[in-house]
């Protein structure tokens, strides 16, 4: 088992260490680790993900021990640019990162494994990915059981992934469960593991994505809240203002 990562600086956003990188950098590192069969733990984080670490010390510990935590949300990118002059022109959005990696995996004969969601969604996602990237090999799929795995179940899942021959794993469990999964499996698997959030539902065609203009303006949360108000209201009405307040305090300390 091994973990490999090039030397890229991390920056604290409310105590969560974020890598100020772009799609090309992260994709290249994932593909390189997949070829070399090195473990690499990757999670794109938006405001909600950052705040789960702010509010939960155990989750903060997990996040800060992942190899790559990248700015999934525009507000996180803006914070990096404001505090650290990162000059990032775009975020590293989990669903888009997944497509970048799948495109490279298809071209370079790197089989993938899909973990999370339901059997029906996984089947639909696999069909659509292979239609978009005909050379892509989906080595295996396993749905979520929607609870924490026992030690025995973790070993069984890890063995299934290893036996599948997959060179990298996408995890779609939603935040913060997927970051916990990536953290717990990073030592069990010698392949990159990438948490991609709602990407499974988006790319399976089950849930619509926000229009590009809303994504670029940092208003994706408003689109998703409108689509699923009862599920997401706490996330956006409580955590977003909390993030803004805390970041303002961090900026004041720096300035």
Nearest to 115 by CA among 132, 136, 94, 140: 140
Give residue 28's pLDDT band: very low, low, confident or very high (50, 70, 90).
Answer: very high
For the cut 50, the answer to whether the pLDDT of residue 118 exceeds it is yes
**What integer pLDDT is reported at residue 3 of this predicted model?**
46
Q: Is 117 exposed, middle or buried (0-12, 13-18, 19+ CB in 10 A)?
A: buried
**What integer pLDDT is reported at residue 212 of this predicted model?**
85
CA distance 97 to 108: 16
**What integer pLDDT is reported at residue 228 of this predicted model?**
66
CB proximity list for 174: less than 8 A, separation 6 or greater: 197, 198
**What integer pLDDT is reported at residue 92 of this predicted model?**
97
**How many percent of the chain have pLDDT more than 90?**
76
Give residue 8's pLDDT band: very low, low, confident or very high (50, 70, 90).
Answer: low
**What integer pLDDT is reported at residue 235 of this predicted model?**
67
Q: Are 68 and 225 in contact (CB under 8 A)?
A: no
DSSP lists the bridge partners of residue 11 as 18
Q: pLDDT per residue over 195-247, tens digit each?
A: 998 999 999 999 877 788 878 877 777 777 666 666 665 666 777 889 999 99
Bond preceding residue 177 cis, omega within 30 of 0:
no
For the cut 70, the answer to whether the pLDDT of residue 60 exceeds it is yes
For the cut 70, the answer to whether the pLDDT of residue 72 exceeds it is yes
CB proximity list for 6: less than 8 A, separation 6 or greater: 29
CB proximity list for 186: less than 8 A, separation 6 or greater: 3, 39, 41, 66, 67, 193
Across residues 13-24, what is the average pLDDT? 97
CB proximity list for 118: less than 8 A, separation 6 or greater: 143, 144
Where do we find the tokens 């977003």? 240
Helix (H) or strand (E) holding 148: none
For the cut 50, the answer to whether the pLDDT of residue 6 exceeds it is no
**What integer pLDDT is reported at residue 217 of this predicted model?**
79
Across residues 88-92, what is the average pLDDT? 95
DSSP structural state of residue 41: E
Averaged pLDDT of the chain: 91
């Amino acid at each position: 088992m091994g973990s490999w990562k090039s030397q890229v600086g991390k920056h604290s956003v409310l105590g969560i260490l974020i890598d100020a990188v772009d799609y090309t950098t992260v994709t290249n590192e994932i593909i390189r680790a997949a070829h070399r069969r090195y473990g690499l733990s990757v999670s794109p984080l938006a405001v909600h993900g950052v705040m789960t670490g702010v509010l939960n010390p155990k989750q903060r510990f997990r996040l800060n021990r992942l190899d790559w935590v990248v700015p999934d949300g525009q507000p996180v990118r803006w914070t990096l640019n404001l505090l650290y002059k990162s000059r990032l022109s775009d975020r590293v959005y989990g669903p888009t990162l997944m497509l970048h990696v799948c495109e490279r995996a298809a071209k370079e004969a790197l089989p993938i494994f899909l973990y999370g969601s339901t059997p029906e969604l996984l089947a639909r996602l696999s069909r659509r990915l292979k239609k978009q990237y005909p050379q892509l090999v989906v080595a295996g799929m396993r749905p979520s059981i929607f609870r924490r795995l026992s030690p025995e179940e973790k070993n069984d899942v890890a063995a299934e992934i290893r036996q599948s021959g997959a060179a990298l794993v996408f995890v779609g469990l939603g935040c913060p469960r997927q970051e916990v999964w990536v953290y717990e499996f990073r030592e069990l698997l010698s392949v990159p593991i990438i948490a991609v959030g709602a990407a499974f539902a988006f790319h399976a065609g089950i849930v619509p994505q926000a229009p590009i203009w809303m994504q670029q303006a940092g208003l994706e949360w408003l689109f998703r809240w409108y689509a699923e108000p009862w599920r997401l209201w706490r996330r956006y009405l409580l955590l977003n203002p909390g993030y803004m307040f805390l970041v303002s305090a961090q900026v004041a300390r720096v300035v």
